Structure 1
Amino acid sequence: MTQRSPEEYFRQHDFGSEAATGGGGEFTAAERAFMQKYLGVEEGDLLRRIGIDPARAGATGVAGGAGLEDESESLDARLRNEPVLQMVGFFLGAQEFAVPTEAVQEVIKYAAPTRLPAAPSFVAGIVNLRGRVTPLVRLRELLGVHDGGDAAGSEDKFIIVCRRRGLQMGMMIERVHTMYRVPQQDIDWAIESHLGISVDFVSGLLKAGERLISIVSVDKILDCVLKR
């Protein structure tokens, strides 16, 4: 397993470009499903509050539909067949987690979201990130991370922005640690033996020396956001 800094990795990838984010353009089916579920009758007011035109269905620019939603195979299934995986390691409190870079669009500093009255507690709200409706997820709550007596020194200061199946989503984290380049043999997909946190949103374990780092399943979190 090799490691490199997040700065080195993200310098080589233009995650902030319009092509990468699908900036502006039509709402995707996933965005519409999210808005109908959580914005309700206040949809127009909430979208305008974050600077997005609620009537842009026929807008020009990069459309959010076709190429961005054609991901029928789950990311977790595809990762099991990759000889080498790249991961972003990050911390929530004292616990390190990892997320596949294939799902990561960029990492940004925390921005306060606009709250949604109808959303569950793990959805902190929405932000406008380059013209896309972007829900922010409290990853600590979904993963069952409890900081105990050290809670005063722990807060989410960054957002890992992911995009899957037409929805751009931000996962709130405390800090980015490093980048991992991991051979398949260093991944344990038998997570049923893992104890200590909720495994509902974990797809596997990355072996880093004597440590086991939980791999967060972006697809499972996305399903949770859209189905609840």
Structure 2
Amino acid sequence: MALEVGDKNLENKYVLFKLDNEDYGLNINNVLSIEKFQNYTRVPNAPEYVTGVINLRGEVIPILDLRKKLSLESKPSDQSDQNSRIIITSSNNMIIGLTVDSSSEVLEIKKENIDKPSAAGEKNFDEYIKGVGKDKERLIIILDLEKLLAIE
């Protein structure tokens, strides 16, 4: 069975990844692929969270450091290990790669198990959160890709 973007069966499925041992999720409809971390070319005068660009199967794709975008402590570039991944995402006809510490699984989270984000917390970060999913003993921060990729 081929996966169709917008397929009802995929509506509640999320690609999970880690940043600083916390679980995050992106709707699977926005994820094109997950790639091993690779060398990139820096882009002059780009915002600090733009790592650079990569050539992926003949396409030049900008890469965002998700840690910097979310105001988390950044990992030194020499500490990118074999678990680091680039999640290739698509939103509003933009294809962007996001660097993450690791990507683990695809998980279905029912709507009733997703709470709205709390109003407390750092404003810069909260605007990127769509909700908090619950799966057994863990909480998964579900990111709003459209807001995350909005050009400032």
Q: If the length of structure 1 is used for normalisation, what is the TM-score?
A: 0.56
Q: How does 1:202-217 map to 2 (within 5 A)?
A: 202-217=129-144
Task: Check if 1:177 corresponds to 2:84.
Answer: no
Following the alignment from structure 1 to structure 2, what is the Cα–Cα distance between the partners of residues 133 and 152? 21
Partner residue, 2:26: 99
Following the alignment from structure 1 to structure 2, what is the Cα–Cα distance between the partners of residues 222 and 133? 17
Normalized per residue, the structure richer in helix is 1
Question: What does the per-residue CA deviation read over 1:80-105, in whole Å, with 9 as the maximum and x for residues that have no partner?
Answer: x9995001111112111111101000
Q: If the length of structure 2 is used for normalisation, what is the TM-score?
A: 0.81
Aligned-partner residue type, residue 220 of structure 1: K
User: Greater Rg, structure 1 or structure 2?
Assistant: 1
Q: Are the counterparts in 2 of residues 85 and 100 from structure 1 also a CA contact under 8 Å?
A: yes
Normalized per residue, the structure richer in strand is 2
Following the alignment from structure 1 to structure 2, what is the Cα–Cα distance between the partners of residues 151 and 170? 18
- How many angstroms does 1:199 deviate by? 1.7
Distance verdict in 2 for CA 1:13–1:117, change over 3 Å: farther
Unmatched 5+ residue regions in structure 2?
none
Question: What does the per-residue CA deviation read over 1:29-76, in whole Å, with 9 as the maximum and x for residues that have no partner?
Answer: xxxxxxxxxxxxxxxxxxxxxxxxxxxxxxxxxxxxxxxxxxxxxxxx
Q: Secondary structure at the match of 1:141?
A: helix
Distance verdict in 2 for CA 1:212–1:111, change over 3 Å: same
Task: Check if 1:127 corresponds to 2:47.
Answer: no
Following the alignment from structure 1 to structure 2, what is the Cα–Cα distance between the partners of residues 115 and 125? 4
Q: Are the counterparts in 1 of residues 117 and 129 from structure 2 also a CA contact under 8 Å?
A: no
Give the counterpart of 2:37 among 83, 92, 110.
110
User: Could you list the runs of 4 or more consecutive aligned residues of structure 1 that deviate by over 3 angstroms after TM superposition?
Assistant: 81-84, 150-156
Tell me how large the CA RMSD over aligned residues is: 3.2
- How many angstroms does 1:189 deviate by? 2.2
Q: Are the counterparts in 2 of residues 123 and 136 from structure 1 also a CA contact under 8 Å?
A: yes
My pick for the range that moved more, 197-206 or 117-126, is 197-206
Task: Check if 1:201 corresponds to 2:100.
Answer: no
Unmatched 5+ residue regions in structure 1?
1-11, 15-19, 21-77
Q: Secondary structure at the match of 1:146?
A: coil
- How many angstroms does 1:176 deviate by? 1.1
Q: Secondary structure at the match of 1:221?
A: helix
Q: Secondary structure at the match of 1:192?
A: coil
Following the alignment from structure 1 to structure 2, what is the Cα–Cα distance between the partners of residues 13 and 107? 18
Task: Check if 1:155 corresponds to 2:80.
Answer: yes
Following the alignment from structure 2 to structure 1, what is the Cα–Cα distance between the partners of residues 48 and 37? 18
Q: How does 1:1-12 map to 2 (within 5 A)?
A: none
Identical residues among aligned pairs (%): 24
Following the alignment from structure 1 to structure 2, what is the Cα–Cα distance between the partners of residues 121 and 153? 17
Following the alignment from structure 1 to structure 2, what is the Cα–Cα distance between the partners of residues 83 and 162? 15
Following the alignment from structure 1 to structure 2, what is the Cα–Cα distance between the partners of residues 222 and 100? 14
